[in-house]
A and B are shown apart, each in its own frame.
Chain A
Amino acid sequence: MSKTYEPETIEQDQGYTVQEVCHRYCLESEFVIKCVDFGITEVSGSSKAESLLIPVESASRMAKAWRLQRDLGLDFTGLAIVLDLLDEIDQLNGQVETMARRLRDWEG
């Protein structure tokens, strides 16, 4: 293992086309379009499917949606709610960690 790989930084505003998302995450285009319709993923670009750009972060979210649908049988409405709640839990956990850290520093 002598080679060192130099990665490319993925910027927040980078996006994938629907086709790219399907290839990268092994999703079907129908599923991706439904995720867009139900607001599970953000998009930019025109309303035509071929011009849609899906932010990289949202693409991961869609892969998660697919796994939850496959494994837990959730419909799209349920998926949208569950994903929003999971995001909120992550955000709140992050805030709790930060506040706990600050409290420890102040009391320490």
Chain B
Amino acid sequence: MEFKDYYKIMGVEENATREEIKKAYKRLARKYHPDVSKAEDAEEKFKELGEAYEVLGDADKRQEYDELRKLGASGAGGEFRPPPGWESATHFSDTDTGEFSDFFTSIFGREGGFHRSYQRGQARSFDMRGEDIHANLSLFLEEVHAGTKKVLELRVPVVDEQGLVSHKPRKLRVKIPAGTAEGQQLRLKGQGAPGIGNGGPGDLIVTVNIAPHPLYTVQGRNLSLVLPLAPWEAALGAKLDVPTPAGKVKLSVPAGTQAGARLRLKGKGLPGKTPGDLFAVVKIVMPEESTGTARELWGKLAEEVTFNPRPNWQD
């Protein structure tokens, strides 16, 4: 297994004092706490940090670790093995839930618990309802628009006879109703963590997130998309086919439409009790080059039409 350099993880020297280690923990805990940090590996880093502090913050465990560092065999590729016959002298008394890395358990064994693991849960009494499990599910806009069935992959806490908690993978297929909005929470009753004693299981709460779409921007149940128009279309009006998640829809652009105008297609957003709307936001786009006849026509327009686009500028 891979050797874990707890000193490197905590960013401290091997001769760091207890105070320095404590300060380092506090600083990094604030940085990596999964409720604060947006980094994808925050939870993993926080867990690693907690394990490192569990060892380096305790004089006895630190001493064992330091000895092992010197005596343990290291093979090619950083493979680590404790010396043959190694037995840890350090005992835990806490039975809080937690998961150790293989490296940690190879040195200190599996007994006891881990105080600073990022786990919900406290010491349980008997006959307690299981916790709710929370999961996030990212979907494409088309999937939430039409509704879909998705397989969720979860890690569900399982308590063994000794009261130790481990996590087992579990898959379940969930129907996502059409029109589920961004941030919407869905509850699957009884699919959460198992209860203790006669306590029933918790629920599974799924929060739906909608992945960014190349065309549409989502705001609640409303959608918006950019509607590029040629200058003459904006000036004269136009009848266009506008894409919506349910297919193309005819839109009449009124004559004299300004850039930035929001044209509403009622009910063409995400479905629901109150369906959302689709807003087509006008953007005037110029042709790349105006040569020949086109240039002549522009020139005539410039001569014939009195229009000041910059009324607020002083001469």
Chain A: residues with CB nearer than 8 A to chain B? 1, 3-10, 23-26, 28, 56, 60, 63-64, 66-68, 71-72, 82, 86, 98, 101-102, 105-106, 108
In the complex, the answer to whether B217 meets A1 with C-beta atoms within 8 Å is no
Q: Which residue of B lies closest to A83 (CB)?
A: B35
Instruction: Give the distance in Å from the alpha carbon of A17 to the alpha carbon of B180 in the complex.
Output: 26
Docked Cα-Cα span, A2 to B186, in Å, equals 20
CB of B118 closer than 8 Å to a CB of A:
yes
**Which of B29, B35, B122, B184 has the largest count of A CB atoms less than 10 A from its CB?**
B35
Nearest 7 CB-CB pairings of A with B: A7-B186, A10-B185, A23-B129, A105-B226, A24-B132, A4-B173, A7-B188
Chain B nearest Cβ from A47, distance in angstroms? 26
- The proximity string for B residues 35-60 relative to A, scoring 1 for CB distances below 8 Å and 0 otherwise, is 11000000000100000000000000
Interface residues of B, dominant DSSP: mixed
A67 lies within 8 A of B149 (CB): no
Q: Interface of B with A (CB < 8 Å)?
A: 26, 29-30, 33, 35-36, 46, 116, 118, 120-122, 124, 128-129, 131-132, 134, 149, 151, 171-177, 180, 184-189, 191, 202-203, 205-206, 212, 217, 219, 226, 283
Flag if B30 contacts A7 (CB, 8 Å).
Answer: no
Given the complex, which residues of A lie within 8 Å of B121, measured CB to CB? 26
- The reply to whether B120 and A86 contact each other, CB–CB distance below 8 Å, is no
A67 near B173 (CB under 8 angstroms)?
A: no
Rounded to whole angstroms, the CA-CA distance of A17 and B147 in the bound complex is: 31
Q: Cβ of B120 and Cβ of A25 under 8 Å apart? A: yes
Residues of A within 8 A of B171 (CB): 1
Contact indicator B226/A106 (Cβ below 8 Å): yes
Q: A26-B122, A56-B185, A106-B226 are in contact. Are A5 and B191 (CB under 8 A)?
A: yes
Cβ of B40 to closest chain A Cβ, rounded Å: 15
In the bound assembly, the distance between CA atoms of A108 and B283 in angstroms comes to 11
Contact pick for A63, options B120, B172, B184, B212, CB 8 Å: B120
| In contact, B175 and A72 (Cβ under 8 angstroms) | no
B33, B206, B212, B283: the one contacting A101 at CB < 8 Å is B212
List the A residue with the shortest CB-CB distance to B212: A101
A82 shortest CB reach to chain B, Å: 8
Does B131 contact A26, Cβ atoms closer than 8 Å?
yes
**Least Cβ–Cβ distance between B135 and chain A, in angstroms:** 11
A27 to B261, CA, bound (A): 50
Q: Report Cα–Cα, A102/B131, bound state, in Å.
A: 41
Chain A residues near B33: list those with CB within 8 A. 67-68, 71-72
A86:B186 contact, CB within 8 angstroms: no
A10–B283 CB distance below 8 A: no
CB neighbours of A71 from chain B (8 A): 29, 33, 46, 116, 118
| Distance between B23 CB and nearest chain A CB, rounded to angstroms | 13
Please tell me if the beta carbons of A86 and B35 are within 8 angstroms of each other in the complex: yes
Pick the contact of B173: A1, A28, A63 (CB < 8 A). Answer: A1
Are A102 and B149 closer than 8 Å at their CB atoms? no
Query: In the docked arrangement, what's the CA distance between A5 and B190, Å?
Result: 11
A9 adjacent to B131 (CB under 8 Å)? no
Shortest Cβ gap from B262 to chain A (Å): 12
A99 to chain B minimum Cβ distance, whole angstroms, is: 10
- When C-beta atoms are compared, the residue in chain B nearest to A70 turns out to be B116
Chain A residues closer than 8 Å to B184, beta-carbon distance: 9-10
A84 to B176, CA, bound (A): 31
A67-B35, A72-B29 known; A24 vs B134 contact (CB < 8 Å): no
Report chain A residues within 8 Å CB of B131.
24-26
